[in-house]
Structure 1
Amino acid sequence: MRIASLALMFALGLAACTDTPAPTASTGSTLTSVPPTYQARTDVGPNGEPVPIPAVNIAYLTERNRRQQVPYNGPEAPGTIVVDPYSRFLYHVMEGGQAMRYGVAVGKAGTGFSGSATIQRKAAWPSWTPTANMVRTNPELYGPVKNGLKGGLDNPLGSRALYLYNGGKDTYYRIHGTMDPSSIGKATSAGCIRLFNQDILDLFQQVPIGTAVRVRSPEESRRYEGELVESPEGYLTPVGGTVVHSAPTGAVAGDVAAATTPSIVESAVPAG
């Protein structure tokens, strides 16, 4: 199982917890040391055991990736989570026209849903089960874990997961951690919305069951964030250097714009 889970990690673009190269100018990080927010910490694992969470390498802590408070004048009420899979941002709306912004990685399933939902389930060190389609199309890789992978450092969902529901039904849309911090800020081959483990731990503590979530459509993203281009390193940058953190005046957060089940999902069977 250990060998199979490691193969699964690499197939999903995940990296083992090993030393990573020193940052270079091409990463876009201007830090000289790891901020306290992203330093190593010890969490409680799925069986009550201590689990060391490594510090995030500063090479991955670009300005757009780092958790930070920004102006936000959009229509969403304080407490709402706003996911923008196209700008690769997640906002947690605050009082006073502010929001906490998190950089995210977006997998294929991260663009399979847009509109309104609520968080109806939260899981610490969640389990993960590949879909029947994943097992059918790649039995060599996913067959050994077809019955599920327990929570832990080998698990693609990372340290925490938030599960989105609409109309009482699971959308199969997940906001979760990752064991591959190098993926944050980039598009990935699989998965939904990944955050640094330190960031999902922070968000997990703040959001209760029933929290409203708005997932932007491509049109909403362009309207609110402006045009973006992707760098050779895989990160997004604004065209002309302009960043918009809020929706235009009069914008309305409506009901579901498109609620289709993603072709690749994080968990075919809810964890636990």
Structure 2
Amino acid sequence: MKRREFLQSSALSVIMGGVVAAEAAVPVTLPDYNMPEEFLPREVRLRNDLEPFEIHVDPGQYALYWTLPDKKAIRYAVGIGRTQLYEHGEFFVGAKKEWPSWTPTPEMIERDPQSYARFADGMPGGINNPLGSRGLYLFTPSRGDTFLRIHGTNDPETIGRRVSNGCARLINDQMIDLYDRVPLKTRVVLYPIGRG
């Protein structure tokens, strides 16, 4: 299925698990990111019998899977957190935001003040915002918001690489598609880097 066909067919279904996709707060026209075929979303068969309607991120494959019934899933290509910043574990989607604002964490500012200190008061949502078109905020019962995100990006060069401060990122149009499928409280599993 071609990217446009995939996105058009998924756009027809804006209600999934009781969540209705709202209009974007920042109306923009997304560019055509011209992604290679291997980076386009596609339906795949799973070897493992995973519960449907969960997110599973395999950092070794730079892949995010939205699981479906009957051992199927939609596979999205992602960029992930750099090795020392990536955090594996089990989470849930505690918040969803369209065109989210972004504020670097104190740890990010401390690690790289030249890049992040100027954004200490935050950056409004928009096409050039590091969180892109949509954000899924990852929580745990014990910590609440972990400051880990699954989010959009307008930089195709970051897909299939370890580039971010611990998050998983999808190209903006693919992130919109995923966001529309994922209800609050969805289980998210981030697998360890280098698992066998």
Normalising by the smaller structure, the TM-score range is 0.7 to 0.9
Equivalent residues in 2 for 1:86-235 (5 A)? 86-108=60-82, 112-168=86-142, 169-218=144-193, 220=195, 222=196
CA drift at 1:45: 4.4
2:85 and 2:116 map into 1 onto residues whose CA distance is 23
Q: Does 1:51 align with 2:28?
A: yes
SS of residue in 2 equivalent to 1:201: helix
Judging changes above 3 Å, is the alpha-carbon distance between structure 1 residues 110 and 45 closer, same or farther for their aligned structure 2 residues?
farther
CA drift at 1:86: 2.1
* TM-score in terms of structure 2 length: 0.81
Amino acid at match of 2:170: L
**Which stretch of structure 1 is more off in the superposition, 145-154 or 112-121?**
112-121
Larger Rg: 1
Q: Are 2:60 and 2:194, in contact at CA under 8 Å, matched by a contact in 1?
A: no
Q: Which ranges of structure 1 fall in alignment gaps of 5 or more residues?
A: 1-32, 223-272
Q: Are 2:64 and 2:78, in contact at CA under 8 Å, matched by a contact in 1?
A: yes
Report percent identity of matched pairs: 36
State the Cα RMSD in Å: 2.6
Q: Which ranges of structure 2 fall in alignment gaps of 5 or more residues?
A: 9-21
Amino acid at match of 2:135: A
SS of residue in 2 equivalent to 1:113: coil
Q: How many residues matched?
A: 182
1:77 and 1:34 map into 2 onto residues whose CA distance is 26
1:58-95 CA-to-partner distances (Å, cap 9, x unmatched) read xx3242x1100011132420011101122100001111
Match of 2:58 in 1: 84
1:123 and 1:184 map into 2 onto residues whose CA distance is 21
Q: Are 1:70 and 1:101, in contact at CA under 8 Å, matched by a contact in 2?
A: yes
SS of residue in 1 equivalent to 2:28: strand
Q: Are 2:80 and 2:86, in contact at CA under 8 Å, matched by a contact in 1?
A: no
CA drift at 1:109: 7.1
Q: Are 1:38 and 1:56, in contact at CA under 8 Å, matched by a contact in 2?
A: no
Q: Are 2:3 and 2:40, in contact at CA under 8 Å, matched by a contact in 1?
A: no
Amino acid at match of 1:195: L
Judging changes above 3 Å, is the alpha-carbon distance between structure 1 residues 144 and 201 closer, same or farther for their aligned structure 2 residues?
same
Match of 2:19 in 1: none
SS of residue in 2 equivalent to 1:123: strand
CA drift at 1:111: 5.6
1:119 and 1:95 map into 2 onto residues whose CA distance is 20
CA drift at 1:137: 4.3
Higher relative contact order (CA 8 A, sep 6+): 2
Judging changes above 3 Å, is the alpha-carbon distance between structure 1 residues 108 and 211 closer, same or farther for their aligned structure 2 residues?
same
SS of residue in 2 equivalent to 1:52: coil
1:108 and 1:218 map into 2 onto residues whose CA distance is 10
2:130 and 2:113 map into 1 onto residues whose CA distance is 18
SS of residue in 1 equivalent to 2:108: helix
Q: Are 2:91 and 2:187, in contact at CA under 8 Å, matched by a contact in 1?
A: yes
More strand by percentage = 2
